[in-house]
Amino acid sequence: AVLGPRGGDKLADLASETKEMSSKDRLTTDYGVKQTSADDWLKVGSHDKAGPLLLEDPFAREKIMRFDHERIPERVVHARGSGAFGKFKLHESIEHLTMAPVLTDTSRETPIFIRFSTVLGSRGSADTVRDVRGFALKFYTQEGNWDIVGNNMPVFFIQDAIKFPDVIHAGKPEPHNEVPQAQSAHNNFWDFQFNHTEATHMFMWAMSDRAIPRSFRMMQGFGVNTYTLINAKGERHFVRFTWTPELGVHSLVWDEALKLAGQDPDFHRKDLWEAIENGVYPRWKFGVQVIPEANEHGFEFDILDATKVWPEDLVPTRYIGELELNRNPDEFFTQTEQIAFCTSHIVSGIGFSDDPLLQGRNFSYFDTQISRLGVNFQELPINRPVCPVMNFNRDGAMRHTVTRGTVNYWPNRFDACPPAAEKEGGYVEYAQKVAGIKARLRNDKFKEHFSQAQLFYNSMSPVEKTHILKALSFELDHCEDPVVYTRMVTRLADIDLGLSQAVAELVGGEAPTSTAHPNHGRTAPALSQTDFPG
């Protein structure tokens, strides 16, 4: 094998590539020559009067040159993050739903790497700002890498991936003055929210206490998008993935978050690091919500719409496994920074759906990593699978793998490296029937944007509702453009009239006297229900 099987032990695998520095080691150049000085550049002159530096000095030049090129582009989103190693243990097989051994073989422990992040801030921004948190996992399964690239909130701002550059541009610092650096409190963010009614549900989550978590260890994680599970009989179910922390879900209060952002911008990073160093390993239960294919259209909402949750009273979450984080990274850059998650990384037994956000993500991650890390990013130790990799992909900048052989194409006269048959574990595509016109389409149920925002708000306790009111007032009060905050106040009336009136009182703008969308565009009959299949 090119990279060689590593027996599935990712930690041992990485350890074998890790260098430990000791006093026995001697300083060398990158090409291995021992150096006599790390302190003085080669110069002309005398011992009591050193003259100019000589460009000739290869050691000094190499040291400065390497330093000059230390930075790579930060992630275009989720630039600030913290990672850890751990393991995934399956407690209950769902063999009747999927043929992926990671979800059927309860005797296995699958090594994982996780990266938590904020979305909008730059790499050096503070941890406790109001923002969505990334919750991205790479499972190093024996059948290849499987990534769940999720967030700590179960829904998203947009329904179709083509809107992603817009939502991110509107949330990132404004183009003329690079203000604000991390928070959502500005004109463009709220301008976007108003112009996209589909964002209503998600901005309510972002204004809730979920957006100021107390610790990474106390957040839920959600795959958000709708994936599919395919079993050995070729049957397909729709699925959403959830992580629920053993410690419970806890948040900061806004005043704490603001103070910590100033006093201790590494608050979450340190908390995770110290918990793991002290052996207090964070744990999450892993759950799945499953809808049989036949019931796809049985709900008031579209189950492929990432701005909607699948309410648990309709689609129960079944907890089938557990995640534990038990080892801090050895080095931040080579592991936490260079890890590359892709929603397109799936293993046989798991598939995509026609969720238009997911389909676009499947292109975007791979593509961005080519500019962030280079085309051979999958060869970096943190990204390599634990199983053998063998194919005819070749060359590109910084290619490491050396493959022996005289052919690099298929088919070839040696029958070298043929595709795998299904019984050998080859990835099986679900034979989905697809037909229709080619057009820029949007499913009808995607057009209803308020009912779940209202469901979310109504599910809050009085204290939580007050926090949302204060968060909205704080944020909208930071918008200088009256068009932005007065329009947003009217939008809030689509969720709750009392909320919009209270916000209007605090930030200005005319208080609405009625709701613009009293029936929230509901057209479908009563909600359907589905039990956990099995």
Element (H, E) at 177: none
Which residue's CB atom is positioned nearest to ligand HEM? 134
String of b and e for 394-431 (b: at least 16 CB within 10 Å)? eeeeeeeeeeeeeeeeeeeeeeebeeeeeeebeeeeee
Query: Which are the contacts of 385, defined by CB distance < 8 A and separation ≥ 6?
Result: 3, 140, 141, 144, 145
Active-site option among 69, 96, 145, 151: 151
50 close to 43: Cβ distance less than 8 angstroms:
yes
- Per DSSP bridges, beta strands 236-245 and 227-230 are antiparallel
Stretch in the footprint of ligand HEM (CB under 6 A) among 7-15, 27-35, 75-83, 438-446: 75-83
Among 202, 206, 211, 224, binds ligand HEM (CB under 6 A): 224
Minimum CB–partner distance for residue 355 and ligand HEM (Å): 9
**Smallest gap, in angstroms, from Cβ of residue 51 to ligand HEM?**
46
User: Of 298, 323, 382, 294, whose CA–CA distance to 150 is shortest?
Assistant: 323
Q: Identify the CA nearest to 130 among candidates 178, 184, 204.
A: 184
Size of the site for ligand HEM (CB under 6 A): 28
Q: Supply the minimum distance, in Å, between the C-beta of residue 130 and ligand HEM.
A: 17
Rounded to an integer, what is the distance from CA 175 to the centroid of its chain? 25
Looking at 150, 171, 321, 349, which residue binds ligand HEM (CB under 6 A)? 150
- Whose Cβ is closer to ligand HEM: residue 80's or residue 467's? 80
The yes or no reply on residue 136 touching ligand HEM (CB under 6 A) is: yes
Nearest CB to ligand HEM, comparing residues 110 and 369: 369
115 contacts ligand HEM (rule: CB under 6 A): yes
Buried-exposed string 466-496: b where 16+ CB fall within 10 A, e elsewhere:
ebbbbbbbbbbebbeeeebbbbbbbbbbbbb
Of 164 and 192, the one with the shorter C-beta distance to ligand HEM is: 164
Residue 503 within binding range of ligand HEM, rule CB under 6 A: no
Catalytic (active site) residue 78: yes
d(Cα 506, Cα 492) in Å, to the nearest integer? 14
How far is the C-alpha of 520 from the C-alpha of 423, rounded, in Å? 49
List 3, 60, 77, 315, residue binding ligand HEM (CB under 6 A) = 77
134, 321, 329, 509: which one contacts ligand HEM (CB under 6 A)? Answer: 134
Q: Is 365 annotated as a binding residue?
A: yes
H helices then E strands: how many in the chain? 12, 12
Nearer to ligand HEM, 215 or 473 (CB): 215
Instruction: Give CA 335 to chain center in angstroms.
Output: 16
Residues 160-219 that bind ligand HEM (CB under 6 A): 161, 164
Q: Which two tokens stand for residue 33?
A: 């020559």
**In the complex, least distance from residue 451 CB atom to ligand HEM, rounded to whole angstroms:** 20
Question: Distance between CA atoms of 514 and 526, rounded to whole angstroms?
Answer: 25
Sign of CA dihedral 397, 403, 408, 411: negative
The binding track of 338-377 with respect to ligand HEM, each residue x by CB under 6 A or -, is --xx---------------x--xx--xx--xx--x-----
Task: Select 134 or 144, whichever has its Cβ closest to ligand HEM.
Answer: 134
Is-contact 386 6, C-beta < 8 A? yes
Residue among 76 and 389 whose Cβ is closer to ligand HEM: 76
CA distance 22 to 9: 26
Q: How many CB atoms lie within 10 A of CB 107?
A: 8
Residues 278-317: x where in contact with ligand HEM by CB under 6 A, - otherwise, as a string = ----------------------------x-----------
Rounded least distance, CB 7 to ligand HEM, Å:
26
Helix (H) or strand (E) holding 393: none
Pick 120 or 469: Cβ nearer ligand HEM: 120
Tokens of 289: 């919500």
242 forms part of the interface with ligand HEM (CB under 6 A)? no
Give the interface segment with ligand HEM, choosing from 149-157, 184-192, 327-335, 447-455 (CB under 6 A): 149-157
Q: Which residue has the tokens 């949330």?
A: 171
Determine contact, residues 213/253, Cβ cutoff 8 Å.
no
Query: Which two tokens mark 224?
Result: 């958000």
Smallest gap from residue 150 Cβ to ligand HEM (A): 5
Q: Is 244 in the site for ligand HEM (CB under 6 A)?
A: no
Determine, following the binding rule CB under 6 A, whether residue 239 of this chain makes contact with ligand HEM: no
Q: Decide whether 325 or 489 has the Cβ nearer to ligand HEM.
A: 325
Note the residues at the interface with ligand HEM (CB under 6 A). 75-78, 81, 115, 117, 134, 136, 149-151, 156, 161, 164, 224-225, 306, 340-341, 357, 360-361, 364-365, 368-369, 372
Residues recognised as catalytic: 78, 151
- Annotated binding site for heme: which residue ranges? 365
- Annotated binding site: which residue ranges? 365
